[in-house]
């Protein structure tokens, strides 16, 4: 029997699109699409509820969205703003618990088992969190409250927007029995098709299968399906450690002295870091170049930029300067590394959740005049 937990899942409503409607009142009440423009190969990141009525949804080609609703208004994502809002809502979550597991910028699990002020107050806490989010950001979120992650997440989706849905242990069996199979955690399009072929369309159908049958059909996931069909999901809410940096390094096949060759290698590293930054939806202020010379002596050179860095091109502008400031070339090099730190949108220790960084400035362009540090060399 799993210990009785209280889990809240919070998810912002039409997140990027709602931020755009908040900041541009002329977009309110209109079909708004955040993503690539319609005449491009771009896709829809998300769209307003008005646009969803036309069948438009996330990950759809922008060209198709345009055909579905030619009067839809397309806007480019403003990631810095979304990250800032994300910081604000996480600061609100922290007022309730340390056990916060963000799933993306707009979504998180909170384990409030220890926070609960009195029995059955989880619902009150969830309502309070939604109210604070609305007061402080001007945006709405939806919440699901239950005794495990699976049910809390499904619940938050039940009454969007601005919905609060509670699933008590008593209600769980009936709730899961009627739940369409695609709403089960981990069921994508492929699994859904396979389930339908087996005649499994909802939770009740899943209950008719033995654990070993589901394992035979779906591998390890089968065991998970068996348990969640019975309302059992012991996965803990895991508070993510704040990521401090994103970096990459490579030991060269042979020692090199040619700086152009070094820059080519650094470019490849920068590209990889750019992809990871995009995946983590973050940007960073400090770039560190690490050089290990052929004699194994290692140095790092850092530069802190006033505006956040995200692109490989920005990283390379700085890395090139740092490399030229070093003895690389005069001395043979055996390892090169790049790391971005001072990440934006991470926990900065501010209790008010406001990021201490200037937002609204584009993340491109190197702003050396305002940089707070001069490059410095640290000998390891
Ligand atoms: P979601 O929470 O999945 O969607 P949403 O907040 O826009 O709408 P809902 O009310 O249904 O929760 O995703 C959060 C944000 O993540 C979304 O606003 C945009 C971004 N996103 C993408 O960029 N691409 C995607 O494919 C998805 C699903 C989301
Ligand atoms: Mg959302």
Report pLDDT digits (tens) over 35-86: 999 988 899 999 999 999 999 999 999 999 999 999 999 999 999 999 999 9
Calpha distance 363→306 (Å, rounded): 10
pLDDT at 253 over 60: yes
Ligand 2 mean position to 26 CA, how many Å? Answer: 22
- Give the pLDDT score at 114: 87
Ligand nearest to the CA of 13: 1
Mean pLDDT is lowest, of 93-97, 178-182, 373-377, for 373-377
| Span 264-282, average pLDDT | 92
- Mean pLDDT along residues 349-354: 30
252 C-alpha to center of ligand 2: Å? 44
pLDDT at 177: 97
Number of C-beta neighbours around residue 378 at 10 A: 11
Residue nearest to atom 24 of ligand 1 (CA): 45
pTM of structure:
0.69
CB-ligand 1 contact for 80 (6 Å cutoff): no
How far, in Å, is the centroid of ligand 1 from the Cα of 259? 43
**Cis peptide upstream of residue 161 (ω within 30 degrees of 0):** yes
Average pLDDT (29-33) is 98
Q: Whose CA is nearest to atom 29 of ligand 1?
A: 45
pLDDT band at 278 (very low <50, low <70, confident <90, very high): confident
Pocket test for ligand 1, best of 9, 58, 183, 189 (most atoms within 8 A of CB): 58
Q: Is the pLDDT of residue 349 over 50?
A: no
Q: Whose CA is nearest to atom 21 of ligand 1?
A: 45
Beta bridge partners of 343: 284
pLDDT in tens, 183-240: 998 898 899 999 999 999 999 999 999 999 999 999 989 999 999 999 999 999 988 7
E strand intervals along the chain? 7-12, 32-35, 44-47, 73-75, 100-104, 107-111, 141-146, 164-166, 245-256, 284-293, 298-309, 333-343, 376-379
Q: Is the pLDDT reported for residue 360 higher than 60?
A: no
Q: Do residues 342 and 304 make contact, with C-beta atoms less than 8 angstroms apart?
A: yes
Q: What is the pLDDT of residue 121?
A: 87
Residue minimizing CA distance to atom 8 of ligand 1? 14
Averaged pLDDT for residues 136-152: 98
């Amino acid at each position: 029997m799993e210990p009785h937990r209280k889990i809240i899942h919070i998810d912002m409503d039409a997140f990027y699109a709602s931020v755009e409607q908040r900041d541009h009142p002329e977009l309110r009440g209109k079909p708004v699409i955040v993503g690539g423009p319609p005449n491009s190969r771009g896709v829809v990141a998300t769209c307003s509820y008005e646009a969803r009525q036309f069948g438009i949804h996330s990950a759809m080609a922008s060209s198709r969205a345009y055909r579905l609703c030619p009067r839809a208004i397309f806007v480019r994502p403003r990631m810095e703003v979304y990250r800032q809002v994300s910081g604000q809502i996480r600061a609100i979550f922290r007022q309730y618990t340390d056990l916060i597991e963000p799933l993306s910028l707009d979504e998180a699990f909170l384990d409030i088992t220890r926070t609960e002020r009195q029995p059955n107050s989880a619902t009150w806490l969830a309502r309070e969190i939604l109210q604070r989010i609305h007061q402080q950001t001007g945006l709405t979120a939806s919440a699901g409250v239950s005794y495990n992650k699976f049910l809390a997440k499904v619940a938050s989706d039940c009454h969007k927007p601005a919905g609060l849905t509670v699933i008590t242990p008593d209600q769980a069996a009936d709730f899961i029995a009627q739940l369409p199979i695609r709403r089960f955690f981990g069921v994508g399009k492929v699994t859904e098709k396979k389930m339908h072929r087996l005649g499994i369309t909802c939770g009740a159908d899943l209950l008719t299968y033995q654990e070993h049958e589901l394992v035979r059909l779906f591998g390890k996931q089968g065991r998970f399906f068996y348990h969640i069909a019975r309302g059992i999901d012991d996965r803990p809410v895991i508070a993510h450690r704040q990521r401090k940096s994103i970096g990459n390094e490579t030991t060269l096949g042979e020692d090199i002295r040619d700086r152009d060759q070094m820059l080519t290698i650094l470019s490849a590293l920068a590209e990889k870091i750019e992809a990871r930054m995009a995946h983590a939806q973050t940007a960073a202020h400090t770039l560190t170049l690490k050089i290990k010379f052929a004699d194994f002596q290692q140095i790092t050179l850092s530069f802190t930029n006033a505006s956040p860095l995200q692109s490989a091109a920005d990283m390379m502008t700085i890395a090139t300067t740092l490399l030229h400031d070093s003895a690389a070339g005069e001395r043979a090099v055996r390892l090169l590394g790049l790391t971005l730190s001072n990440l934006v949108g991470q926990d900065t220790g501010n209790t008010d959740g406001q990021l201490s960084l200037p937002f609204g400035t584009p993340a491109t362009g190197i702003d050396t005049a305002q940089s707070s540090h001069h490059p410095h060399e640290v000998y390891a």
